[in-house]
Every structure is written in C-alpha cells, then in structure tokens.
Amino acid sequence: MLMSFTAKSLVSGLAASSLWGGEQSSNGIPQGDAHISVPFQQIRRNGSSHLGTFDAPHLPTHIGDAPWDGIHSRDVSTMPNTGVIRKYDFSVSYADIAPDGVHKHGIVINGQYPGPLIEANWGDWIQVTVHNNLGDGDEGTTLHWHGLLQYQTEWMDGVPGVDSCPIPPGETFVYMFRADMYGTSVSYYSHRKKLYAGGAAGPMVIYGPPTADYDFDLGPILLSDWFHDEYYVLVEKVMTPSVEPLLPPQSNNNLINGFGIFDCADTTLPCDSGFNAAVFRFQSGKKYRLRLVNTGAEALQKFSIDGHTLTVIANDFIPINPYQTDSVTLAVGQRTDVIVEANSHSTDAVWMRANVGPGITNGGCSGNDPKRQEAVAIVFYEDADTSVQPTSSPNPDAALTYCGNDPLKDTTPLYPIRPDDNPEITAELQIQQLNNGTHNLWYFGGQSYRANYNEALLVQTVGGNLSYTEQSNVFNFGSNSSVRFVIYNRFPAPHPMHMHGHNMWVLAEGQGQWDGTVTNPDNPQRRDVHLLQPGSDENPTYIVVQIEQDNPGMWPFHCHIAWHVSAGLYLTMLERPDDVAKMQIPEENLRMCELWDAYTKRNVPDQIDSGLR
C-alpha cells in the first residue's frame, strides 16, 4: 500500500488507551482533571490494527499516477481502464480481543480488528485471497464488498445462498472484482451470521477524481455498537420461540475505530480497567477529510466534533453538493465523507463523539437501551498536552434524538441524473413483524426470507431454473427498464434499507401515504443505504426509491440491522433473467459450492436464523 504521510507518533503504536485520574460519568467518560498514564499495549486491544492511533497514516489522493487525468469529477460514467490488479491476502480466524478492555473471543482478519485497509484507484481490479482459518467444525464464511456495483461479477458479491456458497473451514477462495465506484470509505464485512458482530469487518477506500478541497485525509473512522457476547448468543436471544415480540440484545458499548470506554466493575468477564480512546491529530488552519462508516449491528450513530463544523461532501459512494452541519447521522452500512476545518488553537484538544441515544421505549432509535450511549475519541492539536483529557463541551445537537438522515432537499448529488418519471413497474411493499406460530419474524413484501447455503440462487438461475421456494422471497422484475419501490414501515423502529448492485434514487420520504411528490425531481439523492424512519399502524412512514435495471443479476434488498435481516427482512430482486441465464459463473465458484455441500454432510450448520447479516 502506498501512504503519503505518517502522523507524528507521540505514543508509538498506542492510542490513548490508558488509566485516567478522576471519576467517570455514567457513560464512562472521564470527569474532572483526568490525566493519561500507563498506556496498555495496543496488541491486547485490537491486535495489529493502527486505526485510532497516532501511527495511523494519512491517506493519499491516489496510488501512483492518477488514472483519471482529464476525466471531470462529475463524470461517473467514464471509468478508466487501469489494467491494475491490487492484491490482498486475508486470513479469517479467532483471537482474543478487547476493544473496550473487556476480553472477547472475537473474529479477526489478519490478526486485527478492525480489519486491514483495502486501497485502490477507480477502475482498478481488486483481488482478495480469503483463507477460512476458523477451525474445522465451525463457521463457513464469505466477505461482501459493500456498495460496489459488481457489474458482470455478481458471483463475487459475497452473499451466501444468493450469489455464492460459504467458504468451508480450512478452504481458500479468491475474490476478483472491479473498483467501479470511488470517493467514499466503505466497509467490507462477512455476510455470514455471526462473523460481522464478532469483529470480521474493515475499511475500503477507492480513490477517484477530486470533488472537494482539503489538506489531509485522516482516512476511515469506523463507528460501531459493541457486544460482549458472541453473535450466536445474541441471535439466539432474538430467535427464541415466543408468542410475544422480544427485545433485541442490549449493546454493551460504542466504539470509534475499535476503541471504547468501559468500567470493569460492570462485568464479571476478564477486563483491563482504564480509559480507552482513539486519538487523532489536527494542525491549526488545515482542512481534514474524515471518512465515516457505521460498521455496527443495530445502532444509528450521530457523529460530531466539539466546536467544529462538518462539511458533508459524499453519502455512500455518491459525491454531493457540499453543505454544512454540526453533526451527521449514519445508519448501519451508511458512509458519509466530511471535511473539518481545524479552527481551534494549537494547544487545544477536543472530544470527537458518536452518540447512539436511548432505546425506542425511552424516545430513542435502538430496539433496546444501550448500556453506553456515547463513544468518544480525542482530537489533539499540534501543541496540545497529550497527557491531559479535553474539557470541551458537546455541540447543542450532539445527542441522537431524530431517527432519520439529513433532509433529502440538502443532499443533492454533484453529478445530476434524472430518473424516469414513469417507471415500468411500481412495487408497494410493507415491512411487518409477525409471529408464525413459534417465532417472531420480519416480513418484507409479504414473506420472511431464509437462505439455503447449499443452493445459491444465482447458480440455480443461470442453470435455467426459475422456480424458487417461498422463503427465497424472489421478486422477478423481468426485463423492464425501471422499477420503483414504495416501502411502508408500521413498526416503531427505523430500518436502514440497503440495495446491492445499485445506487438507488431516493425520491421521497415521510409519514402517512405517499402523495406522489418527488423531492428534487431533476437530481434526487442517490445512495445504496437509506434510512426508513420509525412508524406505527396509525401513522406509517415511507421511503420511495427507484432503480434502472441495468445490472443483470439476483440482488439483495434488505434492512441492515442485524436482528432484522437475521429474522427475514430481506428480498431478492431478479433483474433481467434472460441476461442472467447467459452468465458464465467461474468454475472456482461452482467448486466452492461442491466443497460446502460436502462439508455440510459432515457438519450440519446450526442455522437458527435467516442465515444473513
């Protein structure tokens, strides 16, 4: 990887992961005159990851020569053909990690959490060799490359039971896909049920034509709720047989770049006591790009930096016309790029915050009350005393009180594309939580989804079989050129709706019944995850999204909250089936399905949920 600048290391290889004098608030944030002392070893917290430490490098604007010279930043249709393959080698395995001091049997990639950074230029190919080293008799795995279109490479999307089969323990699979979008930090993660919340996630940055001016790129800032239980235990709680709806798991903490605060007095688990925060460095008068990613399981994250303004320049993989705000909300799977001007004194230090708010029963957005509502990191200016905690106060709107994204009127793409005013198909879909007699499941469009890892839907379709089980929840939209979805939510919790294979136009959102009005009809927001707000039977909420059917395949469309998709809030879009039938799936993909089939004859997977995350 090519890095252009490495920040000065004041605590070599370490975050402000340390013991602090002074008392802690109910959220674990130090109060009073707290000082840093005796830092813990980074390897005990997150393995070999440098994210959140002074050793984390600034990112370049491109790798090598910029292959887009002469291509305007607004022209998203002219992807350069670089002929370059960026190669990575990943080992997925177990390790003892303690992001907030509490030790957990976590799942890591190359020995670290968060996982390694993937970098490429727009138009490059990315090759990732994945070794499943989780041990025999344990999990299969896949990796999903979140937000990429996977045009003509859908079998590399990494969704088990849809486009591929899991990689059995002890086996290796090589992913090869195009860096077909640019400009936004995006996470890759496992789409198998327990790996993601267990730690198997990491950032990916694809460099492209400049869309805004700044001095330094701080790189990815990953925001995540955190659970001390293993993910299988969490899903068991959600999928326990019950007539009445069950509360989802209660998160134990909130993290920024894999660091969080926790009071060891609150657990009987092995725990390293002390304060633990990620650190960043600002230089007065400079502008910094921050690539925000919500890599969590459920919680919305409201991000802010005390006393600083955020200039939003991109949502997901779409550059937008810049606007300013004091804070920005990201649902699970969403990415937002912001520019922050370092306008404080050279000796200052301020808190960076990610707030998840309370649960829905207390006026918040999460299904259950988090044990810690706020994660903090520290921004040290160039002459700041790094042995003393900040004393800055939060911005007035730093707490999460609104379960939605910024208004659609404010988020117009830099490069306008007008959608078809009269799409060939309009599908009205209801999101419901219903009991099937034994379990509480989520239904999307009248059906709850369940994956069959041994029968990948894409393989079945290419083979000419278009007869699907009800649980596959396949919507065949034929060869129609455009599809509009009007989605209603009657449940008092939000749903971040993610579509694979497309950047969907977000035409409208609101409460009640959609009246046909489109926000910014000449240039509506485009992104691959949009937040559907909480609703009720009496007053449902809605979003209206639209796509062009220009990417043949079988594409997932689902809620990105772990407990919702695990309980079936998912559908499969069959797009241009005649073209899908002409695809030639690589032999290596078919071989992996044969290996998985043989593996499951010896080891029957304990699939208590839908099988997807």
Does residue 596 belong to any structural domain of this protein?
yes
Q: Look up residue 387 and give its DSSP letter.
A: T
Residue 35: CB partners within 8 Å, gap ≥ 6? 20, 21, 22, 387, 388, 389
Any domain includes 417: no
Phi, psi at 574, each rounded to 5°: -90, 115
529-532, strands of its sheet edge to edge: 474-476, 570-575, 553-559, 495-499, 529-532
Are 291 and 147 spatial neighbours (Cβ–Cβ below 8 Å)?
Answer: no
The one-letter amino acid at 361 = T
536-552 in b/e form (b: 16+ CB < 10 A) is eeeebbbbbbbbbbebb
459 neighbors 585 (Cβ within 8 angstroms): yes
Question: Which pLDDT score is estimated for 241?
Answer: 82
Residue 117: partners with Cβ closer than 8 Å, 6 or more residues away? 1, 202, 203, 204, 205, 219, 220
Query: Residue 566: which of 446, 476, 465, 439 has the closest Cα?
Result: 439
- In this structure, are residues 588 and 155 in contact, taking their beta carbons and an 8 Å threshold? no
Which amino acid makes up residue 403?
A: C
Question: Could you tell me what percentage of the chain is helix, strand and coil, using 3-state DSSP and rounding each to the nearest 5?
Answer: 10, 35, 55
Whole-angstrom Cα distance, residue 323 to residue 195?
Answer: 36
CATH number for 536:
2.60.40.420
The residue with tokens 């020569």 is 65
Which residues span the domain enclosing 593?
A: 425-601
d(CA 227, CA 232): 11
pTM of the model as a whole: 0.92
Give ∠ CA 406-410-412 in degrees, rounded to 5.
115
How many Å apart are CA 478 and CA 552, to the nearest integer?
A: 10
Q: Which two tokens stand for residue 527?
A: 């992104």
Within 8 A by CB and 6+ apart from 261, the residues are 24, 27, 28, 29, 100, 253, 275, 276, 277, 372, 375, 376
Contact present, 349 and 34 (Cβ < 8 Å): no
CA angle 330, 332, 336 (to 5 degrees): 35
Residue 247: closest CA among 511, 544, 591, 492: 492
Q: Is residue 538 part of a domain?
A: yes
Collapsed DSSP state (helix, strand, coil) of residue 568 = coil
- What distance in Å separates the CA atoms of residue 509 and residue 526, rounded to the nearest whole number? 13
Half-sphere exposure of 255 (CA within 13 A, CB side): 30
Domain presence at residue 589: yes
> Phi/psi of residue 425, each to 5°?
-130, 135
Total domains in the fold of the chain: 1
Contact 295, 187 (CB under 8 A): yes
Tokens 């937000």 belong to which residue?
147
Beta strands, E only, 346-409: 349-355, 374-381
- What pLDDT, on a 0 to 100 scale, did the predictor assign at position 135? 84
The C-alpha torsion from 425 through 426 and 432 to 438, rounded to 10°, is: -20
Buried b (16+ CB within 10 A) or exposed e, 262-299: bbeeebeeebbebbbbbbbbbeeeebbbbbbbbbbbbb
Q: Is residue 86 part of a domain?
A: no
* Cα separation, 501 vs 499, whole angstroms: 7
d(CA 121, CA 61) in angstroms, rounded, equals 9
Residue 415 forms part of a structural domain: no
- DSSP, collapsed to helix, strand or coil, labels residue 277 as strand
Q: Does residue 464 belong to any structural domain of this protein?
A: yes
Bridge-based pairing of strands 440-444 and 425-435 is antiparallel
pLDDT of residue 276: 84
What is the amino acid identity at position 327?
S
Q: What is the mean pLDDT of each run of 10 residues along the chain (613 residues)?
A: 28 36 48 49 68 92 87 69 96 92 91 94 96 82 94 96 94 96 69 56 93 96 94 79 82 95 92 87 98 95 98 96 98 97 97 97 93 96 94 95 96 96 98 90 95 94 94 97 98 97 98 97 98 96 98 97 92 97 96 95 68 48
Q: Are strands 85-97 and 125-132 parallel, antiparallel or unpaired?
A: parallel
**Computed from CA positions of residues 495, 496, 501, 506, in that sequence, does the dihedral angle turn out positive or negative?**
positive
Measure the CA–CA gap between 445 and 35, rounded to whole angstroms: 54
| Chain CA centroid to CA 200, Å | 12
Contacts of 307 (CB under 8 A, 6+ apart): 343, 344, 350, 392, 393, 395
Which residue has tokens 């001091």? 101
Number of other residues whose CB lies within 10 A of the CB of residue 216:
18
Instruction: Give domain status of residue 122, yes or no.
Output: no
Beta strand extents in 3-111 (DSSP E only): 5-6, 16-20, 23-24, 30-31, 36-37, 57-58, 85-97, 104-109
Count of Cβ atoms closer than 10 Å to residue 131 Cβ: 18
Nearest to 513 by CA among 491, 493, 490: 490
